[in-house]
């Protein structure tokens, strides 16, 4: 098992989907997901990682307190918030935001997702929002080193086609209210997070240091995997050198 898989396994990630939303320009909301919106799938997790997948249209997003930096999201793109920070989303972030929790409609009695239908009479943006419940987030070397916003496109990369096609299909199923699609998206949530972390690590600059940067070096990655596989062993530099061939 590699070091990244080892650390994510210890984190006990539990994926799920909680919201299908339709927004119409102009609109702006302030959002931070509360645990009750993710139950009962959440279970005893102590930490929430949130993601938004844009099915149609586009939007801007900004984490509060992050120097006013906006990200533009378009159809086929995903943004993850590893620390569930308070964030603004909208067609125009200069508008006075509406609190997202005030707009959420409860699921139908026969099951399904929470929903939002909000905005003016302009262009439509449709999105699916999901979460990962995570235990032991404090001190986790993956979660603690990720940026507040992590964006990537499901249209790019080696895994792009299966991510895009699966997400698009499941999102359409959710929109149509058909049963079973929540389960597909729940499992995809976990895979989506792993893929996002992989891409983030691969795109780090050459002079970047830290745990994730170490995964790019095959010898360092092997050493990290050995350390995580046998945490009770009194490892020395010589021991690790012999094991990884240095």
* 239 three-state secondary structure: helix
Q: Which residue bears the tokens 């070096």?
A: 217
Give the containing element (helix H, strand E) for 24.
strand 14-24
173: Cβ contacts below 8 Å, ≥ 6 apart: 180, 181, 184
Q: What is the mean pLDDT of the chain?
A: 82
158-211 residue pLDDT tens: 666 666 676 666 666 666 666 666 666 667 777 778 888 888 888 888 888 888
Q: How many Å separate Cα 99 from the centre of its chain?
A: 21
Percent pLDDT > 70 in the chain is 77
User: Is the model's pLDDT at 13 over the cut of 80?
Assistant: no
For residue 217, what are the β-bridge partners?
none
Per 3-state DSSP, the chain is made up of helix, strand and coil in percentages (nearest 5) of 35, 30, 40
Highest mean pLDDT among 64-73, 104-113, 151-160, 219-228: 219-228
Distance (Å, rounded) from C-alpha 23 to C-alpha 90? 8
**pTM across the whole model:** 0.79
Domains parsed from the chain with CATH numbers: 13-188 (2.60.120.10), 216-244 (no CATH)
User: Is the model's pLDDT at 137 over the cut of 70?
Assistant: no
Distance (Å, rounded) from C-alpha 38 to C-alpha 19? 9
* 63 three-state secondary structure: strand
């Amino acid at each position: 098992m590699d070091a990244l898989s080892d650390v994510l396994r210890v984190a006990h990630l539990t994926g799920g989907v909680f919201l299908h939303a339709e927004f119409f320009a102009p609109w702006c909301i302030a959002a931070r997901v509360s645990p009750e919106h993710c139950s009962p799938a959440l279970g005893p997790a102590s930490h929430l990682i949130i993601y938004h997948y844009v099915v149609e249209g586009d939007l801007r997003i900004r984490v509060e307190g992050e120097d006013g930096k906006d990200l533009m999201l378009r159809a086929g793109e995903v943004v993850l918030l590893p620390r569930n920070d308070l964030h603004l989303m909208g067609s125009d972030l200069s508008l006075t935001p509406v609190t997202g929790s005030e707009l959420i409609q409860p699921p139908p009695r026969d099951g399904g997702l929470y929903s939002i239908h909000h905005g003016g009479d302009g262009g439509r943006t449709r999105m699916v929002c999901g979460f990962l419940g995570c235990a032991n987030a404090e001190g986790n070397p993956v979660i603690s080193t990720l940026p507040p916003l992590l964006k990537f496109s499901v249209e790019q990369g080696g895994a792009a086609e299966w991510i895009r096609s699966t997400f698009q299909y499941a999102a359409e199923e959710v929109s149509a209210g058909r049963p079973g699609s929540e389960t597909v998206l729940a499992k995809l949530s976990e895979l989506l997070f792993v893929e996002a972390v992989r891409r983030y690590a691969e795109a780090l600059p050459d002079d970047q240091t830290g745990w994730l940067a170490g995964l790019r070096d095959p010898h360092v990655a092997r050493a990290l995997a050995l350390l995580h596989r046998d945490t009770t062993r009194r490892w020395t530099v010589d021991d690790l050198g012999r094991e990884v061939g240095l």
